[in-house]
Amino acid sequence: RKPHLAVVGATGAVGSVLLGILSERADIWGEIRLIASPRSAGRKLTVRGEEVEVVALSEEAFDGIDVAMFDVPDEVSAQWAPVAVSKGAVVVDNSGAFRMDPDVPLVVPEVNAHTARVRPRGIIANPNCTTLSMIVALGALHAEYGLSELIVSSYQAVSGAGKAGIDTLRAQLSAVSGTELGTTPGDVRRAVGDTLGPFPAPIALNVVPWAGSLQEDGWSSEELKVRNESRKILGLPDLPVTATCVRVPVITTHSLAVHARFENEVTVAGAHEILAAAPGVVLSDDPAEGEYPTPSDVVGTDPTWVGRVRRSLDDPRALELFVCGDNLRKGAALNTAQIGELVAAELRG
């Protein structure tokens, strides 16, 4: 029989994208049950062209479920993923609760699909959207050249901070549009007043060198996620990784400027060949024709887009790249759906 799927957090920003993706991809699931907080129970959402009523999160909600995809805050996953497992489901979790647990694989199907089968806790973690927005391209280059160091700067879209992030950017854009703001220190900050939303500084007409929470020695949680998750996914626990994470006034699609150093000498032609052939990657790299990925061209698409490929001027073993990926699709919902498909294939033998 076809395995039964539960989507936990079906009404959220990523949950909604996930329902769209489940409706577009091969129909491998039996029942698709939608689960959310009691507040959202009773709402009707469309998946696979049919209206499905949302049920409240409870132990019974997992009765008969084979695979449960979670997109909820860390503390909700921490509490409820083990409940779903105890009811017999394999959990694919998109929170940060389990990503670095050594007994939980952190899976990107194009890079380390084989790790999904070994899951002592019955849970598979989905990486953070910033890591996911670049790692498929880096995994392909690593397989050929052997990665030895990574230095990245992110340009993160506001939807990474959820619906509140999107609402904040839209409100601030309305406040500054048609004005002369952005020309004297603090004028934008005064204009947006106390409507900073989830961001520590104005995001309209601005860039903000901060995402996540403050960690030791001035690092942000987002920067440490990029470091720790890249190491785990690539199976390189000692890889030197430095990230600077920056929020930009883009609705959806994270971008990253990447300096990647390898064990072996690289060429642009070689890197182009690898990237053009890599599943899940689109090479868009012809600067003479103005061709390179930008978030507003990439949003709503599935692949990781790569352009501006250059060999470092001072290091024949290093490449510079610009990478864009939709943070709600491959960065979250699509990767979750792909992991679910791996598990479903395994369950069906």
292 Cβ neighbours under 8 A, 6+ residues apart:
284, 285, 286, 307, 308, 322
**Interacting span for ligand 2RA (CB under 6 A) from 23-31, 122-130, 179-187, 282-290:** 122-130
67 Cβ neighbours under 8 A, 6+ residues apart:
3, 4, 5, 6, 89, 90, 91, 92, 340, 343, 344, 347
Catalytic-residue membership of 245: no
> Given candidates 109, 127, 160, 307, which one binds ligand 2RA under the rule CB under 6 A?
160
Q: Which residue is nearest to ligand 2RA (CB)?
A: 160
**Interacting span for ligand 2RA (CB under 6 A) from 103-111, 136-144, 153-161, 231-239:** 153-161
Minimum CB separation of residue 287 from ligand 2RA in Å reads 27
Nearest to 227 by CA among 217, 245, 240: 240
DSSP conformation class of 108: -
Q: HSE-up of 24 (CA within 13 Å, CB side)? A: 14
Q: Establish if 129 lies at the interface with ligand 2RA (CB under 6 A).
A: yes
Q: Is 160 annotated as a binding residue?
A: yes
Catalytic residue among 4, 129, 142, 324: 129
Q: Establish if 202 lies at the interface with ligand 2RA (CB under 6 A).
A: no
Q: Which is nearer to ligand 2RA, 161 or 275 (CB)?
A: 161
Q: Establish if 211 lies at the interface with ligand 2RA (CB under 6 A).
A: yes
DSSP, collapsed to helix, strand or coil, labels residue 183 as coil
Nearest to 247 by CA among 335, 168, 338: 168
Say if CB 335 and CB 284 are below 8 A apart: no
Q: Establish if 156 lies at the interface with ligand 2RA (CB under 6 A).
A: yes
Both tokens of 324, joined, read 């864009």
> Given candidates 161, 260, 275, 318, which one binds ligand 2RA under the rule CB under 6 A?
161
Q: Which is nearer to ligand 2RA, 9 or 160 (CB)?
A: 160
Q: Which is nearer to ligand 2RA, 155 or 262 (CB)?
A: 155
Q: Is 117 annotated as a binding residue?
A: no
Q: Is 172 annotated as a binding residue?
A: no
Which residues inside 253-312 make contact with ligand 2RA, applying CB under 6 A? none
Say if CB 285 and CB 291 are below 8 A apart: yes
Q: Establish if 9 lies at the interface with ligand 2RA (CB under 6 A).
A: no
Q: Establish if 152 lies at the interface with ligand 2RA (CB under 6 A).
A: no
Strand duo 44-47 + 50-53: pairing: antiparallel
Say if CB 97 and CB 128 are below 8 A apart: no
Alpha helices (H) along the chain: 13-24, 74-86, 109-112, 129-145, 162-176, 187-192, 221-234, 268-277, 295-298, 334-347
Which residues inside 218-247 make contact with ligand 2RA, applying CB under 6 A? 222
DSSP, collapsed to helix, strand or coil, labels residue 306 as strand
Catalytic residue among 142, 245, 254, 324: 254
Q: Is 40 annotated as a binding residue?
A: yes
**Which residues are identified as catalytic?**
129, 254
Annotated binding site for substrate: 156, 247
**Could you list the residues that contact ligand 2RA (CB under 6 A)?**
128-130, 156, 160-161, 211, 222
